[in-house]
């Protein structure tokens, strides 16, 4: 048994989908995700980026995010084999982010899973064996105990030096990757 830290936005909660929904409501056409080749919204115009910056501060934004396809099943399957914790860096500019992330977990994974939510701006301080995260540059003040498996998304598809995984590949594939990291 090991400790697996699973990131939230972009791994189990569809953050970009939430942004796209709000852009559409405002009459701005979302840019296809395949064109988001960087871990930010720099593919959008400056005006759109200013609008995007404000969206996550809205009440209900984090709670209303849709689960990433296959993520809930994947997390539950992982937790039959390992100690799974959800490890998310909250948006400090949002008054609602912390509580809504907890409510989201309760809603989609159940009350018991709320005890497994770790909100940490610096994930290098969190102990674990594996971090599954879509951010290609998870840095902080410590040398992390965990090794990262990159959750594959268009915005990190240029990263080749890190093992990557997506829920559609199945949990067996995840453990194959993990074995190569720790053997």
- The residue ranges that bind Mg ion (CB under 5 A) are 7, 9-10, 134
**Which position has the token pair 């399957």?**
77
Q: Does residue 133 carry a catalytic annotation?
A: no
Indicate the residue among 124 and 179 with the shorter CB distance to Mg ion. Answer: 124
What the block records as the tokens of 125 is: 């301080």
- Closer to Mg ion by CB, 13 or 178: give it: 13
Angle, vertex CA 172, rays to CA 76 and CA 124, nearest 5: 65
7 is catalytic: yes
**φ, ψ (nearest 5 deg) of residue 166:** -140, 150
CA 133 to chain centre: 6
Least separation in angstroms between residue 151's CB and Mg ion is 7
Q: How far is the CB of 47 from Mg ion (least distance, A)?
A: 25
Most distant pair of Cα atoms in the chain: their distance = 51
DSSP secondary structure letter of residue 66: P
The alpha carbon of 150 is separated from its chain's Cα centroid by a whole number of angstroms, namely 10
- Of the pair 10, 144, the CB lying nearest Mg ion is at 10
Least spacing, CB of residue 114 vs Mg ion, in Å = 19
What are the residues facing 20 on neighbouring strands?
A: none
Q: Quick one: 8 or 48, whose CB is closer to Mg ion?
A: 8
Round to whole Å and give the CA distance between 156 and 176.
21
Q: Minimal CB distance to Mg ion: which residue?
A: 10
Unique residue bearing structure tokens 């405002």: 26
Q: How far is the CB of 9 from Mg ion (least distance, A)?
A: 4
Is the CB of residue 157 less than 8 Å from the CB of residue 29? no
Residues designated catalytic: 7, 9
């Amino acid at each position: 048994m090991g400790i697996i830290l699973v990131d939230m936005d972009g791994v189990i909660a569809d953050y970009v989908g939430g942004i796209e929904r709000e852009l559409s409501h405002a009459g701005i056409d979302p840019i296809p995700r395949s064109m988001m080749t960087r871990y930010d919204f720099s593919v959008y115009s400056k005006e759109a980026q200013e609008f995007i910056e404000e969206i996550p501060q809205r009440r209900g934004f984090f709670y209303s995010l849709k689960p990433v396809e296959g993520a809930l099943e994947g997390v539950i399957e992982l937790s039959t084999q390992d100690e799974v914790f959800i490890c998310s860096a909250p948006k400090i500019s949002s008054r609602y982010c912390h509580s809504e992330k907890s409510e989201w977990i309760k809603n989609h994974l159940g009350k018991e899973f709320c005890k497994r939510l770790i909100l940490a701006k610096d994930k290098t301080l969190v102990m674990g064996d594996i971090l599954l995260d879509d951010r290609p540059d998870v840095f902080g003040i410590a040398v992390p105990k965990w090794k990262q498996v990159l959750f594959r998304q268009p915005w990190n598809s240029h990263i080749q030096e890190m093992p990557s995984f997506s829920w559609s590949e199945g949990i067996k594939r995840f453990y194959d990757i993990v074995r190569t990291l720790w053997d």
